[in-house]
Structure 1
Amino acid sequence: MSVQKMILDLDTGIDDAMAIAYAVADPNVELIGILSSFGNIESDRAAQNALKILELVGAPEVPVFVGHHNPLDHDYQRIDVNSQIHGENGIGEVDLPEPAHSVSTKPGVDFLLAAARQYGDQLTVVATGPMTNLAAALEQDHATMQKIGNITIMGGALTVPGNVTPVAEANVEQDPVAANQLFTSDLNVTMVGLDVTLRTLLTKQETSQWRESTAGSNMADIVDFYIDVYADLYPELGGCSLHDPLAVGVAIDPSFVTIIAMNMMVTTEHDAYYARTIGDKARLNDPNPNVKVAVAVDKDRYLQVFMDHFKNLFH
């Protein structure tokens, strides 16, 4: 497997922090930059959290860029459940040291497009927040975005209910217009949604294995906060979902999941179906669907790789 140049586009909460760690630990990835978005927390604080997590996992040289602060058609407002799930600071109320590096002054979307021009189909972009940065880049330079080899998103729910409404998953619900622009474009997208992330779980039995080092203990503290919240909110699951790190894993090794190839759309009308991810009736007969939807996951094999990565990182 050749080494992928990877950009993470994330709203750095707890599962995004694990996504950063997974990408840094994977030998098949060269993480060339992080682009912040809003969602779990504001875009500026997401960028600061990304810098702190990069230092924690021994990759302080990776540059961080600030992306869009608001959805395409309304203003961002952090919802209470995000503070509950990720902590007020976005990373489980764990107080990490102030990062030695600063956020880049280059706009995030400009960085993304420059990387697409430079690396073309060698570039992988994994978006684990709302799809606003991708939609903005698509609007700014469609031809350059077509060069990207691999766009994988954590978002959506096709075969299971949403997690913010009966039909809406959180990342899509933050900016349905952007998600719809991405899904109905001609870009090839892999959707890693709740269909698979709700089956991929972590418990304190696993996080306890990271506590041999200070950095590992800090990461375990961050994730244990998440596990405790899941025990309160979703006791039926029996652990916390590995939403964002699973998307990174699938971007590197698609064989972790079973997919359905289809043309997707997002409902943008403000009604009971707002932010639903669903097959696009207008393109049912298109012979070349552009979205690969993950609908089943080899969770045991994925969790083994996940744990091997984290043990190597925090030994």
Structure 2
Amino acid sequence: MDVDTGIDDSLALLYLLASPEADIIGIAATAGNVPASQVAANNLAWLDVCAAPDIEVALGAAEPLAIALRTTEDTHGPQGVGYAELPQSGRRVSGRSAAQMWVELVRERPGQVVGLCTGPLTNLALALRLEPELPRLLRRLVIMGGAFNHPGNTTPTNEWNVHVDPEAAKEVFDAFSAAPPDRRPIVCALDITETIEMYPEHLARLAERAGSLPVEIVSETDSVAARSAANNPIVRYLTDAVRFYFDFHRHYDQGYLAHMHDPFAAAVAIDPALARTRPATVDVELAGTMTRATTVADWAGMWGREPNADIVIGTDPAAFFEQMITRVGDYARAVYPPTTLEDA
């Protein structure tokens, strides 16, 4: 995982921890939603809350490749996890950089590792500079980023992760032009991820599945100072995080909902069959006055270049949420059994 945790990155991490098919071998902290050091702290804290085994968390670059870092605390809260106040972790950050971790883990397991990037692609671009064979050494790469036949969420034409480090995104897509067709990146862009709409009832169903009490229905009338009283810590912190995301989307007239971009990408990393894809050649605009950081897809081969990505063009949001609620709810229940919480 290479993440900029992040509210929806948090749920992506929970989804993978809750998935028996997934074995998380490393988490790279990339600067994006918040600075890289805060991202690493959030990842370590979530691992504690989830009573997860030791998983390496490596610190990524503090800045994008060529421009100053822009963060988005207005979207994800001052610490990146909304209203949640995660406990400080006693776990330590890895002694190697995120780029080094990428390279060394993949070299140790050629053809076995699935990479999941839900933040800017800075760390992966740096890893590609260290090991240009990464596109052939990875089993597959899943990227949450970009916007194709869809408006951007940061400027009229571009998506946040690419906006933060467009040079890195271009380096990654250029490098994967050398990947064989079965190892092209699967790109989960805004075209699809903005259809993955989470509502308060999804949180309530997850709490019920976890056996967490009380089962709360968060509301746009809740005070900013309100905090979840759920007795299951995973449900409690997740509720406080996601409620901030609901408030953010409502503030921008999108409804009292949250787009769960990153958990969907995590689900696709485990099971690509959840997504319908179409191959295309993807490039990133770097010189446009109004279109810098825009992802451009050549669907028809007009550039005369082979496809370097499989872009997700369809999915079933209801099926995704059913699976997510089942997995994360069951996981929260297993980590904190209701009988134990009742006795506490």
Aligned to 2:69: 76
The answer for the alignment partner of 2:162 in structure 1 is: 172
Equivalent residue number for residue 36 of structure 1: 29
The alpha carbon displacement at 1:49 in A equals 0.6
**Alignment match, 1:217:** 236
CA distance in 2: counterparts of 1:280 and 1:183, whole angstroms:
13
Q: Runs in 1 of length 4+ with deviation above 3 angstroms?
A: 280-288
Give SS of 1:100's match.
coil
How far, CA to CA, are the matches of 1:284 and 1:30 in structure 2?
A: 40
Letter in 1 for 2:16: A
- State percent identity of aligned pairs: 29
* Residue 25 (1) aligns with residue 44 (2): no
247-256 or 147-156, larger mean C-alpha shift: 247-256
The structure-2 alpha-carbon separation of the partners of 1:171 and 1:144, relative to structure 1 and needing over 3 Å to count, comes to: closer
Name which one, 1 or 2, has greater alpha-carbon Rg. Answer: 2
Q: Does 1:136 align with 2:126?
A: yes
After TM superposition, give the deviation of residue 74 of structure 1 in Å: 1.5
Question: Equivalences for 1:244-263 in 2 at 5 Å?
Answer: 244-263=262-281
- Following superposition, the deviation at residue 226 of structure 1 comes to 0.9
Cα deviation, 1:101-124, whole Å, max 9, x if unaligned, reads: 111121111111011111111101
Alignment of structure 1 residues 166-315 onto 2, 5 Å: 166-185=156-175, 186-187=178-179, 188-211=184-207, 212=212, 213-236=232-255, 239-280=257-298, 284=302, 288-315=306-333
Letter in 1 for 2:98: G
CA RMSD of aligned residues (A): 1.7
Q: Within 1, Cα distance between the matches of 2:254 and 2:157?
A: 20
1:144-203 per-residue CA deviation (whole Å, 9 max, x = no partner) reads 442101111100011110000110000000011111111122242111010111001111
Aligned AA for 1:226?
Answer: Y
For 1:5, the equivalent position in structure 2 comes to none
Any unmatched runs of 5+ in structure 1?
A: 1-7
The Cα shift of 1:270 comes to 4.4
Q: Distance in 1 between matches of 2:300 and 2:120?
A: 24
Q: Which amino acid is 1:209 matched to? A: R
Task: State the Cα deviation string for residues 260-292 of structure 1 (Å, max 9, x = none).
Answer: 101110001141111111125996465741200
Measure the CA separation in 2 of the matches of 1:27 and 1:269. 44
Q: TM-score, structure 2 length as denominator?
A: 0.84
Q: CA deviation at 1:255?
A: 1.6
> Alignment partner for residue 150 of structure 2, among 160, 165, 180?
160
Matched residue pairs, number? Answer: 304
Cα distance change of structure 1 residues 270 and 30 upon mapping to structure 2, 3 Å threshold = same
Shift of the 19–234 alpha-carbon distance from structure 1 to 2, 3 Å rule, reads: farther
Deviation at 1:58, TM superposition (A): 2.3
* Further displaced range: 219-228 or 170-179: 219-228
1:38 is displaced (CA, Å) by: 0.7
